[in-house]
Amino acid sequence: MKIAFYSTKPYDRTYFEPMSAEYDIDLHFFEVPCNEETIPLAAGHDALCIFVNDYLNENMIGRLAEMGIKAILLRCAGFNNVDIKAAAKYEMPVLRVPSYSPEAVAEFATALLLTVNRYTHRAYTRTRDFNMNINGFMGMDLHGKTAGVVGTGRIGQAMINILKGFGMNILAYDPYPNKSLDVEYTTIEQLFKNADVITLHCPLTPETKHIVQAKTIELMKDDVYLINTSRGDLIRTEDLIDGLLQKKFAGVGLDVYEEESGVFYEDRSNDIMDDENLARLTTFPNVIVTSHMGFFTREAVCAIAEVTLKNADAVQKGLPLENVVLPPPDEDL
Ligand code: NAD
């Protein structure tokens, strides 16, 4: 089986290359992202493998079908970047890695929270300058405060466990509450009103797009902390910036960003930043932006490679496809 592997980074090769030999799979690594211009590179392959900031719309999937592509392999959990309905129309299975290490992402969300709360990102540079003044770095005890967890799936649950370890009270919102969890479910409005820390762990869907926007920011407590490790479009960036300017937030940690595609994962340090919102966000002393790296642990990357290659192997051997993404059942194809 030949796979066109888009958006390749050195660490992808490190984990995927040795494992692919075990499955008799031939990976062709392309550094370019998957987009309208680069889709012809998929010709001559049986499948393509893409990552979070690659995308496949209906037109591209139609072109892939003409090339005889048999499957789309996502080496990530989220699938908002692929037109699932179009893939079903062309009978092209879309396979993903539903769970690799929810703890990796939850631990990273916690790192963002602790960083913006206790200013370790700024303390690091101050002490290197031999500036031992701690003025401006006062944080908040997490113990006894309320965390609002939006989305109580795998990552949300891992986050709840960590936050409970800090002695926080947990409020949760999920349209499909998990009764086995020892948390108080509430409405999204009540969560926004009562949480001292809000952490987003829901997928990007039409319902969750801009779940954080001017109206919902208004509901939040003053001096709230907001953490987003899910998808950038959950937050309307302009409204977040307005909220920051109005000093609504004590701290904001973002591992994802609305316009991250083409920017995140790239070294653009010699370029002028032409995204005004990203430029503005990076100027706030109480905001930390990271480059969609919540997943980035050895364990998670290893598990991603293993499950992606197992998914590919199931396609090549005609085995049941465990990790296939199905379109919503009521969708009219
Ligand atoms: P999951 O499918 O296990 O859980 C998602 C939960 O969100 C489910 O319980 C679902 O019911 C809930 N949900 C659905 N619609 C909702 C809504 N409108 N409001 C609130 N909750 C809603 O997924 P997961 O593995 O926990 O991953 C969550 C998200 O994290 C993924 O969708 C992905 O976007 C993101 N993610 C980010 C990274 C990273 O590196 N930063 C890595 C992996 C996943």
Q: Where residue 267 sits, what CATH number does that domain have?
A: 3.40.50.720
97, 105, 199, 265: which to mutate for ligand 1, most atoms within 8 A of CB? 105
Alpha-carbon gap, residue 221 to 219, rounded angstroms: 7
For residue 324, tell me if it sits in a domain: no
- pTM for the full predicted model: 0.94
Domain count, the chain: 2
pLDDT for residue 29: 98
The ligand 1 atom nearest the CA atom of 76: 43
Burial class from Cβ neighbours inside 10 Å (0-12, 13-18, 19+) for residue 66 reads: exposed
63 as an active site residue: the answer is no
pLDDT for residue 328: 76
292 as an active site residue: the answer is yes
For residue 187, tell me if it sits in a domain: yes
- Residues 175 and 311 reside in one and the same domain: no
pLDDT for residue 330: 60
pLDDT (tens digit per residue) in 44-67: 999 999 999 999 999 999 999 999
- Residues 229 and 281 reside in one and the same domain: yes
For residue 31, tell me if it sits in a domain: yes
pLDDT for residue 331: 47
- Residues 120 and 254 reside in one and the same domain: yes
Specify the long-range contacts of residues 116-119, CB closer than 8 Å, at least 24 apart: 116/225, 116/250, 116/251, 116/252, 116/253, 116/286, 116/287, 116/288, 117/142, 117/225, 117/250, 117/251, 119/285
Residue nearest to atom 27 of ligand 1 (CA): 155
For residue 234, tell me if it sits in a domain: yes
pLDDT (tens digit per residue) in 276-317: 999 999 999 999 999 999 999 999 999 999 999 999 999 999
- Give the residue numbers spanning the domain of 67: 2-100+298-317
For residue 151, tell me if it sits in a domain: yes
- Residues 79 and 211 reside in one and the same domain: no
Beta bridge pairs of residue 49: 5, 73
Residues of the chain with pLDDT under 50: 331-333
Contact between 157 and 181 under an 8 Å Cβ cutoff? The reply is yes
- Residues 226 and 107 reside in one and the same domain: yes
- Residues 11 and 58 reside in one and the same domain: yes
298 as an active site residue: the answer is no
